[in-house]
Amino acid sequence: EREENVRAAFRVPEEAEIEIAGRRVLLIDDVYTTGATVRAVAKALKKGGAGTVDVLTFARVLPGDFRADESATI
Whether 70 is covered by a domain: the verdict is: no
Number of domains in the chain: 1
In a domain, residue 72? The reply is no
Question: Which domain does 8 fall in, by range?
Answer: 2-60
pLDDT, tens digit (0-9, with 9 covering 90-100), for 11-65: 999 999 999 999 999 999 999 998 999 999 999 999 999 999 999 999 998 877 6
In whole angstroms, what is the distance from residue 14 CA to residue 6 CA? 20
The reply to whether 73 falls in a domain is: no
Q: Is residue 36 part of a domain?
A: yes
Look at residue 9 in the predicted model and tell me its pLDDT: 85
